[in-house]
């Protein structure tokens, strides 16, 4: 794992640690939870794809 990938992973984990507590607190309903989980999955996946294309 190169240094750039390590920084990307570190910052992604840091953002998740900051966001996840309020994410779970505000998503008490199951339908809303899955909807927001899908949106976050798309965001994270797009970031990973863009970073992999840039750092290639």
Task: Determine the pLDDT at residue 49.
Answer: 95
- Are 15 and 9 spatial neighbours (Cβ–Cβ below 8 Å)? no
pLDDT for the residue 23? 75
Separation in Å, CA 49 to CA 14, 19, 43: 19, 21, 10
Annotate 1-56 with DSSP letters as a single string. --HHHHHHHHHHHHHHHHHHHHHHHH--SHHHHHHHHHHHHHHHHHHHHHHHHH--
Q: pLDDT-derived band of residue 55, with 50, 70 and 90 as boundaries?
A: confident
1-53 pLDDT tens trace: 688 888 889 998 999 899 888 877 877 788 888 888 899 899 999 999 999 99
pLDDT of residue 36: 84
Rg of the chain's alpha carbons, rounded to an integer?
Answer: 14
**pTM of the entire predicted model:** 0.53
């Amino acid at each position: 794992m190169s240094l750039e990938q390590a920084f990307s992973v570190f910052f992604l984990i840091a953002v998740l640690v900051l966001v996840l507590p309020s994410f779970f607190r505000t998503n008490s309903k199951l339908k809303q939870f899955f909807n927001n989980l899908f949106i976050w999955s798309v965001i994270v996946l797009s970031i990973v794809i863009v970073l992999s294309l840039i750092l290639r």
